């Protein structure tokens, strides 16, 4: 293979990545709203869905509720940013590939290390969302990497 990718292939890969980021973003925005609209017990139970709910039904201090609300806020804005980024990835923006990959990817690294690997969550939707963000990153960055080596005229935009 010459290391070059047709314009139609680049466009298809970026559009597939954009769709994956929209899915990831919607799930995370919804999860954020769910956590923000719950009390501390409900928020912990919603996040740690692989843990028996009765073991998490505690009288949490107000500070724990505040920390959970911050987490819910972060989930919501991660989701919104990746949805907006997906629109710009669809339009072949290099900047959007980077920003969306950093926001969604780094959010999922923390999730994977501290929530998923210890076994606090179910495979669906949690682990599946990590696969979705990983695939979106692979698809979009493969276009970016190959477009860097392609002569002028590649469809990946500058902004």
The DSSP code sequence of 70-112 is HHHHHHHHHHHHHHHHHHHHHTTBHHHHHHHHHHHHHHHHHHI
Confirm whether 92 is domain-assigned.
Answer: yes
Confirm whether 23 is domain-assigned.
Answer: yes
| Band (3; pLDDT cuts 50, 70, 90) | low
| Band (1; pLDDT cuts 50, 70, 90) | very low
In the chain, how many domains are there? 1
Q: What is the DSSP letter of 155?
A: S
pLDDT digits (tens, 9 = 90+) for 46-104: 999 999 999 999 999 999 999 999 999 999 999 999 999 999 999 999 999 999 999 99
Confirm whether 4 is domain-assigned.
Answer: no
Residue 124, sorted as left (phi over 0), alpha (psi -120 to 50) or beta, turns out to be beta
Confirm whether 103 is domain-assigned.
Answer: yes
Confirm whether 28 is domain-assigned.
Answer: yes
Confirm whether 113 is domain-assigned.
Answer: yes
- As given in the structure block, the two tokens for residue 92 are 């072949």
Q: What is the DSSP letter of 59?
A: -
Residue 29, sorted as left (phi over 0), alpha (psi -120 to 50) or beta, turns out to be alpha
Confirm whether 12 is domain-assigned.
Answer: no
pLDDT digits (tens, 9 = 90+) for 89-103: 999 999 999 999 999
Confirm whether 157 is domain-assigned.
Answer: no
pLDDT digits (tens, 9 = 90+) for 28-40: 999 999 999 999 9
Q: Is the entire prediction scored with pTM above 0.85?
A: yes
Residue-range definition of the domain harbouring residue 66: 19-148
């Amino acid at each position: 293979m010459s290391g070059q990718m047709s314009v139609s292939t680049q466009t298809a890969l970026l559009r597939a990545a954009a769709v994956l980021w929209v899915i990831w973003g919607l799930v995370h925005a919804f999860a954020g709203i769910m956590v923000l609209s719950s009390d501390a017990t409900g928020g912990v139970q919603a996040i740690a869905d692989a843990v028996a709910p009765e073991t998490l039904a505690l009288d949490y201090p107000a500070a724990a509720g505040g920390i959970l609300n911050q987490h819910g806020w972060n989930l919501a804005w991660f989701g919104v940013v990746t949805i907006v980024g997906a629109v710009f990835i669809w339009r072949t923006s290099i900047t959007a590939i980077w920003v969306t990959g950093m926001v969604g990817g780094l959010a999922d690294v923390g999730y994977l290390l501290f929530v998923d690997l210890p076994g606090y969550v179910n495979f669906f939707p949690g682990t599946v969302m990590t696969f979705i963000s990983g695939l979106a990153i692979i698809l979009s960055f493969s276009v970016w990497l190959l477009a860097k080596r392609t002569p002028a005229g590649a469809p990946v935009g500058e902004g």
